[in-house]
Amino acid sequence: MTIKWVLHWQPNAGTTVNSQILNEVSQCVESINGVKEGRWKATLTFYKPIIREQVSTAEFPREFLGITLPEQPNKYYFVIRGQKIVLEAEQNIQAIMEKLQSYKTRVALNFEGFQYQLGDFQLRVGKVVPMQSESLRGIVMEMEYLPLSSLDKSRKMLEEFFDIWQEALSKRSLPGHFLHIEPNFTEFGLSDGYTSQHTAVQYATIMAQLIATAQAVQAVRN
């Protein structure tokens, strides 16, 4: 297993994300000799419970996330942020959930874009859009370091590469920057050895940030 940082675009105050920023970011990757390798796509689904009778809502999660990752097409990941739980299941769990009708989809988002190779690193730059829509909700970037799978041992390499990337991107004077917020993986019972569950937790963290940013923009408009 390799190691990943999942980052999101944080717009400057009073600005929003748009396709021009996404294009500029993609061009920047190519300008530092990133070789385009093809497309990638991950999906994230918000689930909320279907309450049929008077039951205590404390008995089950109020909401949780389901995540599919391209590197594990036969797996499905659940993240319950409130209880700091991450689970790996088989992909067919989605069909089982539909039959049980305990939870329903509140919103589903696609993370999709292009993958680039830069030496020992892979970069994936993509847009965040609702399913059946092209309405841009955010921009994400996966920064993957291929030789190592230890969070601690790879931290310095990732930090140095991120600094180089930020410097290259700053020359384009875009209204915002990429933000890396590393979750406390130990709270989720995850160790230093990186797994796809670490990636799922990072996507859940990013989703919370995207929602907070959207709410802040809405508050300013109101």
On whether the pTM is more than 0.85, the answer is: yes
For the chain, the domain total comes to 1
- Whether the predicted pLDDT of 104 surpasses 90: no
pLDDT attached to residue 62: 72
- 1 by DSSP, 3-state: which? coil
Q: Which domain holds residue 59?
A: 3-221
| Residues 8/210, Cβ–Cβ less than 8 Å | yes
Per-residue model confidence as pLDDT tens digits over 143-190: 999 999 999 999 999 999 999 999 999 999 999 999 999 999 999 999
- Interaxial angle between packed helices 151-170 and 19-31, expressed in degrees from 0 to 180 and rounded to the nearest 10: 110
pLDDT attached to residue 61: 67
Domain of residue 12, CATH code: 2.40.320
Cα separation, 31 vs 11, whole angstroms: 22
DSSP string, 96-155: HHHHHTSEEEEEEEEEEEEEEEETTEEEEEEEEEETT-----EEEEEEEESS--BHHHHH
pLDDT attached to residue 222: 57
Going by their DSSP bridges, the two strands 3-11 and 85-90 should be labelled as: unpaired
pLDDT attached to residue 147: 95
Per-residue model confidence as pLDDT tens digits over 25-81: 999 999 999 999 999 999 999 988 887 665 555 556 677 899 999 999 999 999 998
Mean residue pLDDT of the chain comes to: 90
Residue type, 1: M
